[in-house]
Amino acid sequence: MTKMLENQVAIVTGAGRGIGRETALVLAENGARVVVADRDEEPAAEVVATIKDLGSDAIAFCGNVTDPAYPKQLVDATISAFGRLDIIVNNAGYCIDGLLHKMTDEAFQAMLDIHLIAPFRLIREASPYMRDVAKKEIEQGIVHHRKIINVSSGSGVRGNMGQANYSSAKAGVIGLTKVVAKEWGQFNINSNAVAFGFIDTRLTRPKEEGLVVNGEAAGIPEKVRQKLISNIPQQRVGSAREAAESILFLASPLSNYINGQVLGVNGGSLT
C-alpha cells in the first residue's frame, strides 16, 4: 500500500525531542525520508535510528538554527542526501519567560531569533528546491504539492502574560506563514501554521521537576498547570503525538487546498 508521503523528503527542526521527535517519526511512518535537525547529536541520532527501524530513511544534521549559516547548510545537506525537498516543519524553539517591565533586550531578541527569523531564513534558503522546482514542474504540466508548516502557539494568537517576547515571535510567524501562502501558493506550495495549546513537553512539565532547557529553568508551577488544565474543555493536556499528527495532516495530501491558515490544537481552550 502506498503511503501518503511516499518518496517525499522532510526537514524537521528541533526534531530530537518532544513534538519535533514525534513529528519526525509520524512523517517517516507515512513514507517520508526525514532530515532530523537538532542542536544535540545524541537525541538526533536516536531519532534517526528509530526511523530506520521503521523502514524509512533519515539523516541527522545538527547545529543551531539561529546561526545565520545553518539554514543553507541544512538545505544543502538535505539535497546532497536525498536530492529533493518537499516538506519543511519549523518546530525548533524554547521559552524565556518574564514580565515585560523586567524583560531584557537579549531575552526579547532571542525569541525572535529562534521562532521567527530562523524559519524565515530556512524558507528562503529552500526556495530554489521548492519554489523554483515547482515553477518548472508547472510549466511541464506536473502538479505536486509541497508543504511548509510553521509551529506557532496560542500565545501568538491571544498573547500571554509573562511572554511578551514569545507571544510576539509566535504572532510574527503567523504573519510569515500567510505571506508565504500568498506568494508561493501559485506554485502548489501550501504554507500553514499550527498554534498549540497545552501540550506535554519539557517546557510544560511541572517546574518542580527542575528541568533546564538552554540554560533556563523550564516548566510551569504545578498549581498553575492544574488551573490551566481546568480551563481546557477536554480537561487534559495534549500529547506530543497528538500535536505531531496535526502537523502530519498539514503535510499530507489531505490539506492540499488548505493554505495560509492557523490550525488551533488546544483541546478547545481558545473556543
| Contact (Cβ atoms closer than 8 angstroms) between residue 25 and residue 78 | no
End-to-end Cα, the chain, rounded Å: 38
| Contact (Cβ atoms closer than 8 angstroms) between residue 144 and residue 188 | yes
Residue 198 — pLDDT band, cuts 50, 70, 90? confident
Please report, for the chain, the start and end positions of each structural domain, with discontinuous segments joined by +: 9-201+239-265
State the catalytic residues.
166
User: Cell 500535536 sits at which residue?
Assistant: 243
Identify which of 154, 171, 173, 155 has the alpha carbon closest to the alpha carbon of residue 163: 155
pLDDT of residue 209 exceeding 80, the answer is no
Cell numbers for 105, please give them. Answer: 533586550
pLDDT of residue 187 exceeding 70, the answer is yes
pLDDT of residue 240 exceeding 90, the answer is yes
> For 85-143, how does the pLDDT look when each residue is reduced to its tens digit (9 = 90+)?
999 999 999 989 899 999 999 999 999 999 999 999 999 999 999 999 999 999 999 99
CATH fold for the domain made of 9-201+239-265: Rossmann fold (3.40.50)
Q: What share of the chain is helix, strand, coil (3-state, %, to 5)?
A: 50, 20, 35
pLDDT of residue 14: 98
Residue 225 — pLDDT band, cuts 50, 70, 90? confident
> For 29-62, how does the pLDDT look when each residue is reduced to its tens digit (9 = 90+)?
999 999 999 999 999 999 999 999 999 999 999 9
CA angle (21 as vertex; 18, 254 as ends), nearest 5: 110
Please give the Cα distance from 115 to 109 (Å, whole number): 10
